[in-house]
Structure 1
Amino acid sequence: MRETLRTRMGWLHAWTGFVGGLVMVCVFVTGSLSVFDTEITRWMQPEVRVAPGTPLTPAALDVAARMIHEGETHGIPAFLALPSPRSPTLKVLHYDGREFTGPQLDPQTGVIIPARQTAGGEFFFRFHYTLCMQGPAGILAVDIPAIGLLVAIGSGLVIHIRALLPDIVLLRLSATRLRAWLDAHLLTGVLFLPFMVMITYTGVLVHVDRLLPAIPVTSLWSQGRPVSRSTAIRPPHVAPSPVFQPLPPLAPLLAAARAPLGGREAGFILFSPDHLSIFASDASGPFLTRDHADFHLPDGALLATAATSGSIARSVQLLHGLHYARFAATGLRWLYLVSGLCATAVIASGLVLFGMKRRRDRGHTVAFRIGEGLTMTTLVGLPASLCALLWASRLLPATLPGRDGTEITVFFTVWGLCALHALTCAVTGRGLRAWRTQLAMSAVLAGGLLPLDGLTAPAALHAAPAIHAAVDGMGLGAASLALYVLSHLRDRAA
């Protein structure tokens, strides 16, 4: 009976791990990088040279307020993102139907910074949870494989729990290739199992109302939140031409909001025709809240404070906060990044093992070769395409209209060409050659980020040396890994 259970769990682990793993590698890679999405955006916009910690002045706030009021009178609603230690600029943002975009202002003078339009690190974040698909379909395309990953983790524990400790202690990396890959898969899986379960479970929880619409998760966010007058002063659904009240000086309102927000820093400001809401920063703590203070316009009188209470709502906010990690300091962000990449290695090694175990019996079939091509597209083509996106952010003309969309087009074009090359070579029996070719291309693109950075934006290296060193260093690390795998494949071919 036990062997029958382990056999069935083995089948479940293999197929849910392979089918879901193809998607989850993409999700984990981009999700790990999106922990530093703001820093990646600064790398992709070398014109932004505002030093961290630059104080925000009332004059800059007044300039932003005038821009927002002028835009609202022309039917362009916007909100104000305040400076933070990670993003020191003042941003006037509006939603263009795909992402939030708008000018960046110097926090001292309010002068618009002529930064190039770019997809930025926001693309990594958006791809992470929707695969850049519109509407609920994108979220479901990520959440369903995530549930499959949890199933694969559970079935993997059932399979290996009996011999888990001996396999980890022996760690036969010098044994046969299959045994070495399996031991590496088990070791990394055990070490990063808590992180994988936590990040996958909380990621599914973020959008669980899409999977189970009967669960009012969105109401849990506001459970225990007192009904404030702000709910009664929203603009009507049918409003031909709402009259937007003039905005008072924002600096005194930010100071007045600190007490209602419990001493937390403000993160952004939303504007309505007759009131504005100052929201607590997401970096204020591990609880990802939407607590805010509402002020009447145009006199700036405090209307009400909306704050979350209740154990259920706070628990949900904590799980959201743990997933997004917006509260994390730099060291903890690096821990999230390394853990995410190691979790990616667990899934990637599982994909490789899936093919290795079936190559002898099914290596000649078209289905197996298509699976090998998809694996190659995911493990090698995706990193190469992400590097191509970074190259495009520097090489495309800075004044090109629709520049951010062109960067995304470059990403998907390169990824599509990698997929076409991988599938063509795999189906025609030249899979090993395709692995070598794409690994070499990935090494060139990743390793070339350092000279690209130095040649295209030498002044930005002095403005934010840590950010540029981190991005360029990650590129060198990825290139080294690609060359290491490439050398082993060449030895195998020889």
Structure 2
Amino acid sequence: MRETLRTRMGWLHGWAGFVAGLLAVCIFMTGSLSVFDTEITRWMQPENQVPANAPLTDTALNAASSLIHDQQVRGASVFLTLPSVRSPTLDVLHYDGRQFVGTLFDPRTGTSIPARATMGGTFFFSFHYTLLEGITGTRIVNIIGVVLLVTIISGIVIHIRALVPDIVRVRLSAARLRGWLDAHLLVGVLVLPFTIMIIYTGVLVNAGLILPATPLTSLFTPEKVRTPPTSGMKAATVMPQPLPPLAPLLATARRDLQGRDAGFILFSPDHLSIYASDASGPFLTRDHADFSLPDGRLVGITTTSGSVAHTMQVMHGLHYARFAPLDLRWLYFVSGLCGTATIASGLVLFLMKRRSRSGHRIGFRVGESLTVSTLTGLPISILAFLWCNHLLPASMAGRDRLEIGCFLGAWILCTGHAGLQSSGLRMNGAWKTQLCLIALLGGGLPLLDILTCPRAVYGLPAIHAAIDGIGMLAAAVALYVRHRLESDGK
């Protein structure tokens, strides 16, 4: 009976893991990059040379206020993001239907920064939780998360008896199947707590999308401690009021929000709301202070209370990790890549176990070509996205859309290449060619950086060294895997 259970769990683990794993690799890989989305955006906007911890002056706030009022008069709905350690600029933004765009100000002088148009690291964040398909994509991501949790549980049932001996006697240099299995187990066990936490919190924060009868998202809605102005509901018919000096309002908001720094400010025609920064702590809230316009009088504080609401805030905070200091964000990033490697090795194992009896079937060849286009095509597309950012003219109109088009185009080409190789039963060629392309694009990233943005490399060496170094690491891993393919006679 026990063997029957393990056999059934093995079938569930294999098929559920493979079907969900193809998308899960994309979700985990882009999610890992999203940990440093702000830093990637700074790399992709080399014109932004504002150093971290640059002081915020009244001059900069007044310049931003003037632009905000002008745009409000023209009917635009804008908001202001305040400087932080990770993003030290003062940004006046609005949503254009696809992304948040606007003007970046130097917080020291109030001068605008002519940064190139790009989705930056926000692209990876958006891909991570929507697959670029809006609400439908978010639902798909949540369903994939539930399937992954089932896959993890079934994997534990399968391997629990021999888990410790297999890890202790890890045999990475043994026969290919045994080596891949041991690598799958070793990496999977090392990051198992993180993987369960990140999947569980990811599913929970959007659970209302797949369980509409259980609106968990409402538990995250703040309750009003003092009522903000009701005239804000008539925003469409009220002329925008002049903005008072923002510095005193920020000081008042910081005091009434228990000393938390402000993250952004939302504006209505007759009032504004200052929200606590997401980096204030592990409780990701939408607590805010409301001020009437034009006098700047405090009229309301909105906070949350209750153990259930605070639990949901912690779940949000743990998943988004916006509170995390640099060392913790690196831990998130490395753990995310290890989770990606666990899923990727599981996909390879699934195919290896079935190649001898099913390798000639069309279904198997389609599955293998999709695996190649996912495990190698996605990194190629990400690197192509970064290359495109630096190669396109900074002043080109619509360059952010061209970056996305380059990403999708490269992925389509990789998928087509894998499909053609699969139709001729030459999958080894598909693996080797695309691995070489990863090595070329990743290894060439530092040279591209130096040739196209030498001033930025010198001005922000840590960010550029980190991103270029990750590109070189991807190149080294690709070359190692290609070498192993050749040494194994593939």
* Cα deviation digits, residues 155-204 of structure 1 (max 9, x gap): 00111111111111111222211011111111111111100000001011
SS in 2 for 1:278: strand
1:425 to 2:424 alignment: no
2:93/2:102 contact within 8 Å kept: yes
Secondary structure class of the residue paired with 1:269: strand
Q: Which residue of 2 aligns with 1:236?
A: 234
- Checking the alignment, whether the CA contact within 8 Å between 2:99 and 2:119 is kept in structure 1 is no
Secondary structure of the residue that 2:256 maps to in structure 1? coil
Secondary structure of 2:56's aligned partner: coil
What is the match of residue 391 of structure 2? 395
Residues 1:404 and 2:403 aligned together? no
The residue aligned with 1:42 is 42
Match of 1:290 in 2: 286
- The 1:302–1:484 alpha-carbon spacing in structure 2 relative to 1, beyond 3 Å, is same
1:267-286 superposed matches below 5 A: 267-286=263-282
Q: Distance in 1 between matches of 2:245 and 2:216?
A: 37
Amino acid at match of 2:285: T
Q: Which of 319, 333, 341 is the equivalent residue of 2:329? A: 333
Partner of 1:353: 349
Alignment partner of 1:201 is 2:200: yes
Which residue number corresponds to residue 153 of structure 1?
152
Deviation of 1:60 (Å): 0.5
Distance of 1:69 and 1:270 partners within structure 2? 12
Q: Which letter maps to 1:316?
A: M
Name which of structure 1's ranges 328-337 and 94-103 shifts more when overlaid on structure 2.
94-103
Question: Does the Cα contact within 8 Å between 2:207 and 2:217 map onto a contact in 1?
Answer: no
Matched letter for residue 234 of structure 2: P
**1:322 correspondence with 2:318:** yes
Matched, 1:121 2:121: yes
Amino acid at match of 1:347: I
Please report how far the alpha carbon of residue 313 of structure 1 lies from its aligned counterpart in structure 2 after TM superposition: 0.2
Which residue of 1 is the match for residue 188 of structure 2? Answer: 189
1:434 equivalent among 420, 430, 434:
430
* Structure 1 unmatched runs, 5+: none
Cross-structure match for 1:10: 10
Contact 1:235 1:272 in 2 (8 A): no
CA distance in 2 between counterparts of 1:288 and 1:121 reads 20
State the identity as a percent.
61
The equivalent of 1:168 in structure 2 is: 167
> Is the CA contact 1:235–1:242 (under 8 Å) kept in the aligned structure 2?
no
Alpha-carbon distance in structure 2 between the residues aligned to 1:252 and 1:487: 62
Deviation at 1:334, TM superposition (A): 0.2
Q: Within 2, Cα distance between the matches of 1:487 and 1:274?
A: 65
TM superposition shift of 1:227: 4.9
Matches of 1:131 and 1:441, distance apart in 2: 24
- Matched residue SS, 2:283: coil
Structure 2 residue matching 1:80: 3-state secondary structure:
strand
- Once the two structures are TM-superposed, the CA of residue 222 in structure 1 deviates from its matched residue by 2.8
2:60 aligns with 60
With the length of structure 2 as denominator, give the TM-score of the two structures: 0.98
Question: Counterpart of 2:216?
Answer: 217
- Cα RMSD between the aligned structures? 1.1
Partner of 1:458: 454
Deviation at 1:402, TM superposition (A): 1.2
- 228-237 or 49-58, larger mean C-alpha shift: 228-237
> Tell me, which stretches of 5 or more residues in structure 2 are unaligned?
none
C-alpha contact 1:266 1:280 (8 A) present in aligned 2 = yes
Contact 2:262–2:277 (CA under 8 A) maintained in structure 1: yes
What one-letter code is carried by the residue in structure 1 that aligns with 2:314? L
User: How many angstroms does 1:226 deviate by?
Assistant: 2.9
Residue from 241, 248, 254 that aligns with 1:245: 241
Q: Partner residue of 2:178?
A: 179
Of 364, 367, 377, which aligns to 1:368? Answer: 364
Pick the aligned partner of 1:382 from 378, 384, 394: 378
For the Cα contact (< 8 Å) 1:43–1:468, is it kept in 2? Answer: yes
- When the two structures are superposed, what TM-score results if normalisation uses the length of structure 1? 0.98
The answer to whether the Cα contact below 8 Å between 1:173 and 1:183 also exists between their aligned partners in 2 is yes
> After alignment, is 23-32 or 396-405 more displaced?
396-405
Query: Is 2:229–2:299's contact at 8 Å kept on the other side of the alignment?
Result: no
Equivalent residue number for residue 24 of structure 1: 24
Aligned length: 490
Q: Which amino acid aligns with 1:230?
A: P
Once residues 371 and 213 of structure 1 are traced to their aligned partners in structure 2, the CA distance between those partners, rounded to angstroms, is 33
Equivalent in the alignment of 1:142: 141
Greater displacement, 287-296 / 169-178: 169-178
**Corresponding residue of 1:106:** 106
Q: Secondary structure at the match of 1:139?
A: helix
Q: Shift of the alpha carbon at 1:417?
A: 0.4
Distance 2:364 2:136 in 1: 28
CA distance in 1, matches of 2:340, 2:46: 30
Shift of 1:232: 2.2
TM-superposed deviation, 1:441: 0.6
Structure 1 residue identity aligned to 2:211: L
1:41 is displaced (CA, Å) by 0.4
Deviation (angstroms), 1:278:
0.4
Q: Is the CA contact 2:79–2:265 (under 8 Å) kept in the aligned structure 1? A: yes
Structure 1 contact 235–273 (Cα < 8 Å) conserved:
no
> What SS class does the counterpart of residue 234 from structure 1 fall into?
helix
Decide whether the 8 Å contact of 1:77 with 1:94 is kept in 2: yes
2:474 maps to: 478
* Structure 2 residue aligned with 1:72: 72
| Cα distance in 2 between the residues matched to 1:129 and 1:305 | 31
How far apart, in 2, do the equivalents of 1:452 and 1:242 lie? 51
Deviation readout 1:410-463 (Å, 9 max, x if unpaired)? 000000000010111112201001110000011101111100000000000121
How far is 1:491 from its partner?
2.0
CA contact (8 A) 1:261 1:280 kept: yes
